[in-house]
Amino acid sequence: MRLWRRLVGVSGAAMFVGGLAVTPQFFDTLKLVRLAGEGAIADYRLRTLPPETYANELSAALDAHDPDMARSIVALAGDRGVTLPSELTDRVAVLPAVDLLNLGAQGWNCIVNGDFETEGGFACVVAVDLSTVGDVRDLIAQGGNYLTGQPVDYFALGVSTVGLTLTVATVGTGGGMLPVRAGASFLKASAKAGKVSARLAGEMGTMLARTINGGAVDEAVTLARQLRVAEIGMPVGQIFDPKAIAAVSDLATDVGRIGAAGGVRAMKLGIEAADSARDVKVLARTADRFEDRFPAVMKLLGRGAIRLGDLIWTIGGWIVGAVLWVLGVGWFALRTTTSVVRFAGRRLGRRWRAGNIVVRA
């Protein structure tokens, strides 16, 4: 019996000490899970990175002649209190503010090949879409496929439909809708380049396919082929269900937010890491949090910026530890209360017996 009590005592003490050791992390876990969609995962992972990681990525960016990424890494390191080697920061300090030659080359690459890598090339993509040429072309292509029973890229058709509406809104607001228009242009260009994950494109495409209006497609394609763009607004607005259009618009808005925070590089790194519209939304919130440091965050963390993944086991350990702590506290409280009650009972018993003896005497 005594051996059993000792074992219970040792176990309780171990639970108390072990749980106490991990309880602070338990509260960090609650905060991490609660704010996972606000960039907390990236913030936590960045705290675990050694300074060497920042230095290595900065060196790689400089060697690759990538000034934008280099500056983003330096900004992120400064924000996190990481000291970088002076030879690397000196190289960043002498980088030109704007590389006009590279900017012009990117614009030409867009015109000739329809591709883009930086702000100059993407500006060309947006300019083409603002002219409605690109969206009308895709509407005719994908809408024509739908009408003739050929395979349809519903994602491209949906983005083009939203794009035409956004072009009118962008012009009407004097450029107020430009970030969203840019987001739609980026989505379409990335999808054509195969940069949008199959899961994300499939998620949006399936939703759009379920709500398509064949009559509206026929009317819109007919007007587009006749270049009656001014009259195309009504049928285009009826091709898909309003909820489906809202989902595509939200996706374009989130991509635009990423671009506003970190430019084309941020959008590219973000869309490559996203497997769903929810992922893009989380990335947009993370971009809002880190701003111009967001490209560096994605370069250092990749998909880890939005994935709990390997943290599950760690989080599970913290939760178990916290449960053990609670059990340990409960056990100690119960044992302490019992001991106090027994001690008080014995003292009262002695006093009662002593008083009873005096009275008899």
Rounded to the nearest 5 degrees, what angle is found at the Cα of 354, between the Cα atoms of 350 and 355? 120
Q: What is the mean pLDDT of each run of 10 residues along the chain (361 residues)?
A: 50 52 53 59 85 95 89 94 94 78 54 56 72 85 94 92 80 70 86 87 93 93 88 88 92 92 88 91 91 93 72 50 56 57 58 52 48
CB-CB contact of 143 with 217 (8 Å): yes
Separation CA 62–CA 12 (nearest Å): 56
Helix axes 198-209, 277-290, angle to 10 degrees: 120
pLDDT in tens, 187-212: 888 888 788 899 999 999 999 999 99
Q: What's the pLDDT score for residue 56?
A: 95
Number of C-beta neighbours around residue 245 at 10 A: 20
Coil vs helix vs strand at 127: helix
**Token pair of 162, please?**
């939203």
Convert the pLDDT of each residue in 296-337 to its tens digit. 999 999 887 776 654 544 555 445 555 555 555 555 555 656
**Cα Rg of the chain, angstroms:** 31
Question: How high is the pLDDT of residue 302?
Answer: 86
What pLDDT shows up at residue 359? 46
Q: What is the pTM of this model?
A: 0.71
Residue type at 8 in one-letter notation:
V
Query: Residue 285 corresponds to which tokens in the numbers above?
Result: 């919130």
Which residues are CB-neighbours of 251 under 8 A, at least 6 positions away? 183, 187, 204, 277, 280
CB-CB neighbours of 199 under 10 Å: 12
Residue 5 in tokens = 């009590």
Q: Are 271 and 199 in contact (CB under 8 A)?
A: no
Residue among 50, 37, 94 at smallest CA distance from 278: 37
